[in-house]
Each structure stands twice: as C-alpha cells, then as structure tokens.
Amino acid sequence: MASTILSLRDVTKRYGATLAVGPISLEVETGEFLTLLGPSGCGKTTTLHIIAGLLHPDEGRVTMGERDLTRVAPPYRDMGLVFQNYALFPHKTIAENVAFGLRMRNVGKPEIARRVAAMLDLVGLPGVEGRFPDQLSGGQRQRVALARALVIEPTVLLLDEPLSNLDALLRKRMRLELRDIQRRLGITTIFVTHDQDEAFEMSDRVALLNAGRIEQLGPPEALYDAPATRFVAEFIGEASLLEGRIVGRRDGEAAIELPGGTVVAAAAGPGTPGVGQSALLFVRPERVSLGPDQPGAAGLRVRVERRVFSGEVVSFALRTESGQSLLCKKPSVGEYRAVEPGTWLRATPIECRALAAGAP
Ligand SMILES: Nc1ncnc2c1ncn2[C@@H]1O[C@H](COP(=O)(O)OP(=O)(O)OP(=O)(O)O)[C@@H](O)[C@H]1O
Ligand SMILES: [Mg+2]
C-alpha cells in the first residue's frame, strides 16, 4: 500500500472577491508523480505555491506526515521548486546557482562541491560549473533549475510548467528524461501543466482542475476511459457527445435512447441521470465500429461528411440522421480506409458512457 506523504484539506485561496482555488482536498502518495492539469487560470500555480509555502491559504491545511505546514516558511518545508521561468540568478555561475540551497543550509564547501558536481552529472550537464546562465541553451538552463531544486534532497519536488519554454522536440525528450530522473531518485513530484499529452505521458495520477476545484483525480487511463463529467470528457482527448434520453438504469449501466429510436448501452457513474432524463452519450473516436448500411443492420445510420487521411490513422466525421456529429478514427489499413464522403454506413459506439448534460 502506498502511503500518503502530503495532504491538502479544504484549501481555499481568494483574491478579493475572486475564489482562485478551492476548496481543494488532495492526498499525495510517497514516490508518485502527480500532475495538476487544467486550462489557464484554473488555479494550478496558486495550488503549487500554497504547497510550497509561497502563498498562505485563506482556509484549510497543508500537512506532511504528522507535521502541519500551514504556517511553516518555504525554506523549512523540505521541498524543491522549479519555477516556470527557471528564475536562475543571472550573475551567479552555474555552480553557485546549484549550490544556493546548500549554502543557505550551511553545508561545508567540499561537500557542496561534491554534491553540485554529482547533481550536474545526474541532469546530464557535467563540467558547466564555471559558466553563467546566459551561456547555456534553454534546455540546459531548465536542467540547472532542476539540479538546483534537487540538490537539497527535498522530500517533495514541485515543478511549474518547467518544459513550456522549450521547443517541441526538446520538450518531448525532456519529458522522458525528467520522468527518468524522478524514477531513479524515487522522489515524490507534483508537476503543473496545461498540456494533456505531457500530463499523460509522465504521471502516475492526474488531477484535472476546473475553476479552482478538482474535477477528477486518477490515473491517466481512468480520466480517458471514464470521465466523470462533461468538462473532463471535453478537456481530455477527442470525443463525441450525442444527446439522448435515459431509458434504463441498473448497477453501473444505463441505456440511452438517441433521436430516431436507437438504444445504446453505456457505462453509468454517480453523475449519470435517472430514467426519463436527458443525457449525453460519450464516445471515443477509436471506439466506433463501422459496417455497411443494410436494411435491418444494427447501429446508427450515419453519413460520411469528411474523411481525413493523416498517415497512421484515417478520421471520419460522421453525421446521424437526426443531425448529430460522431467522430470515428480507424488505423489506415483495412476495408474502411478508402470510404468516400457521401457514403451511408452503420456506426456502433462501443465502451461508451452516459453523462449528465450539464453546462458545456
Ligand atoms: N496575485 C493575484 N491577484 C489577483 N488574482 C490572481 C492573482 N494570482 C492569480 N490570480 C487569479 O487566480 C486564478 C488562478 O490563477 P493561477 O495563476 O493559479 O492559474 P493557473 O492555472 O496557474 O493558470 P496558467 O495556466 O495561466 O498559469 C486566476 O483567475 C487568476 O487570475
Ligand atoms: Mg500558472
């Protein structure tokens, strides 16, 4: 069983009349890579700064083990923070930058030199001790910021969009490198990003934030397969949401009737409406099976509106007889690879979910 290392209990933060965060409750497990994901302004940085101690919550508590951190100043929290803009000291050498936290803690000179060199080695930058930040590339500066946060051997590492200033290629490489270093050190990490791919590729668990609150928290697979709300369904990946009505409910399952009378079985959760109410059928594009439009055949009658070939996959924009759109993606092999716009087909959504219509 994983143990909890850090807890947030009903944390809120207001700026004047605006509620920036909360209430948020969160338990971070020892050694995990947890990501706070969400659109701009949803409260990611505010939450991270509350954890780091740079901001005080208006209500709620932050604890590490038995220790209440709410009133503990940042240097005494045993956390390493990498800011979005790295915030390296421009007039200090790389060695002095990395050594900063150790000097604050009165570590002896020979020990500092040894640990700085070992840390620069770890982030793949041996030998740059004597340079200044402006003599390094963006990606190298990012690694120095990481080394500076890690050298104090913090219990928790906090990263605020550390890859957002890098070009696309370097960004992808650094994702893997960062994840590698995190695994090797086994350090509990809280990572902030608005990039879903980044969150999914790196994290053990993802907390999706919406307007200062956690909309859903779980492994990437859970958010992708079983979004709890319309917000999650629309933020994560691609999906179609077909309007219908609940005509049957039992444990974990619902039957949704779509306009035209087709009834589709769907997984149901706590947020699924009851019988007789309107609902949304949530369908992932790779989970639509296609067949010929024959009399008596199963599935929704759909017309191909657009076909887009992008190499490994072919995407079809489909439209139902009642005018709802359904997206379908197929590997670009097999019989449907070449289906032309205008063709009528039968589409059967599989592994779908029933969601409350809610606010878009
Ligand atoms: N110092 C401040 N004064 C007033 N409002 C603030 C302040 N800092 C943040 N806010 C507001 O609090 C909310 C959350 O901001 P926060 O910086 O946490 O968002 P974020 O999720 O990190 O966004 P981004 O992805 O753009 O960095 C926003 O509505 C923002 O405008
Ligand atoms: Mg931010």
- Neighbouring CB atoms inside 10 A of 310's CB total 9
Q: What pLDDT is attached to residue 315?
A: 95
Q: What pLDDT is attached to residue 283?
A: 96
The closest alpha carbon to 77, from 152, 182, 186, 159, belongs to: 152
How far is residue 217's CA from residue 229's CA, in Å, rounded to a whole number? Answer: 12
Is the shortest distance between the CB of 36 and ligand 1 below 6 Å? no
Q: Encoding tokens for residue 161?
A: 């969009």
Q: Domain 4-230 is classified in which CATH homologous superfamily?
A: P-loop containing nucleotide triphosphate hydrolases (3.40.50.300)
CATH 2.40.50.140 in the chain is located at: 238-355
Is the shortest distance between the CB of 46 and ligand 1 below 6 Å? yes
Q: Which atom of ligand 1 is nearest to the CA of 13?
A: 12
Cβ neighbours for 339, distance < 8 A, ≥ 6 positions apart: 290, 304, 307, 316, 345
* 124 Cα distance to chain centroid: 26
Q: Of the ligands numbered here, which is closest to the C-alpha atom of 49?
A: 1
Q: What pLDDT is attached to residue 360?
A: 52
Is the shortest distance between the CB of 43 and ligand 1 below 6 Å? yes
Residue 335 Cα, ligand 2 centroid: separation in angstroms?
A: 46
Low pLDDT (below 70) residues in the chain: 1-2, 359-360
Residue 49 Cα, ligand 2 centroid: separation in angstroms?
A: 10
Cβ neighbours for 263, distance < 8 A, ≥ 6 positions apart: 247, 248, 255, 256, 257
CATH 3.40.50.300 in the chain is located at: 4-230
Q: Which residue's CA is the nearest one to ligand 1's atom 11?
A: 20
Q: What pLDDT is attached to residue 142?
A: 85
The DSSP letter of residue 206 is E
- Of the CA atoms within 13 Å of residue 200, those in its CB half-sphere come to 12
Q: What pLDDT is attached to residue 298?
A: 85
Q: Encoding tokens for residue 201?
A: 């590729």
Ligand 1 pocket test: pick from 11, 12, 18, 55 the residue with the most ligand atoms within 8 Å of its Cβ. Answer: 18
Nearby residues for ligand 2 (ion, Cβ within 5 Å): 45
Average model confidence (pLDDT) across the chain: 90
* Three-state secondary-structure class, residue 38: coil
Q: Encoding tokens for residue 118?
A: 């070992």
Residue 177, Cβ density class (10 Å: 0-12 exposed, 13-18 middle, ≥19 buried): middle
Residues 214 and 227: beta-carbon distance below 8 Å: no
Overall pTM surpassing 0.75 (yes/no) = yes
Residue 44 Cα, ligand 1 centroid: separation in angstroms?
A: 8
Q: What pLDDT is attached to residue 174?
A: 81
pLDDT digits 0-9 by tens, 281-298 = 999 999 999 999 988 888
CATH topology of domain 238-355: OB fold (Dihydrolipoamide Acetyltransferase, E2P) (2.40.50)
